[in-house]
A and B are shown apart, each in its own frame.
Chain A
Amino acid sequence: AQTVTQSQPEMSVQEAETVTLSCTYDTSESDYYLFWYKQPPSRQMILVIRQEAYKQQNATENRFSVNFQKAAKSFSLKISDSQLGDAAMYFCAYKVTSGSRLTFGEGTQLTVNP
């Protein structure tokens, strides 16, 4: 079974600074997708960024970027120029290309200090 592990239950960052959230996963598949979701206090899940495993180039969305290391099965999220609105729970997720099962990690609670 696929597993997703986020080893940092909590992280904090100063406003305008950069923070990196870690995620590792375990799979025997070669084709899959990886996602980072954000869950603010409203508890509404919001997609932050996605990465296709077949793409070597790391995905970027404005201030959010990933470091995808396929061989190491690592998928970290970097948030640059952190803003107060970035404070939320962040979840890493995995989905195999050939199916629908979507597996999440335990989450990292990010605090942004003014």
Chain B
Amino acid sequence: DGGITQSPKYLFRKEGQNVTLSCEQNLNHDAMYWYRQDPGQGLRLIYYSQIVNDFQKGDIAEGYSVSREKKESFPLTVTSAQKNPTAFYLCASSITGLSTEAFFGQGTRLTVV
């Protein structure tokens, strides 16, 4: 089955620790995205990547880092510099330059205590 997989579904970390969220897709999509969702604030773009070994900052990149070493994978690291990391994180992928929709993972709920 083709799709996009995020893991884990729930993640707990202590304040001050870095944590990496996994996102894998087998749809052969070029573009991948990370969004943060907070109540009442919709989906805010953290980072996106159009091609392997290249990525661009979104609107709220501070305190986050990404890598795109393989087409299928786009992990997101939430660093200790992120002031309020507790949120729901969504990963998505799409084909570049076409009107085909983005496909989303199930999301990861990160709680920092």
Contacts and interface: CB of A to CB of B under 8 A. Distances in A.
A21 to B, nearest CB: 13
Q: Which of B31, B88, B96, B99 has the most CB of A within 10 A?
A: B99
B48 A101 contact: yes
Interface residues of B, number: 27
A91 B90 contact: no
Interface string B88-99: 101010101101
Contact of B42 (A44, A47, A91): A91
Contacts of A52: 99
B56 A47 contact: no
Contact of A100 (B41, B48, B88, B107): B48
Contacts of A105: 42
A50 B102 CA distance: 11
Interface string B10-50: 00000000000000000000110101000011111100101
A102 B90 contact: no
Contacts of B59: 1
B104 interface: yes
Interface of B: 30-31, 33, 35, 40-45, 48, 50, 56, 58-59, 88, 90, 92, 94, 96-97, 99, 101-102, 104, 106-107
21 contacts: A6-B42, A43-B106, A43-B107, A44-B104, A45-B90, A45-B102, A47-B101, A91-B43, A93-B102, A95-B99, A98-B97, A100-B30, A101-B48, A101-B56, A102-B33, A102-B45, A102-B48, A102-B94, A104-B43, A106-B40, A107-B43
B97 A99 contact: yes
Interface residues of A, number: 26
Nearest to B31: A100
Nearest to A47: B101
Contacts of A91: 42-43
B106 A44 contact: yes
A75 interface: no
A8 interface: no
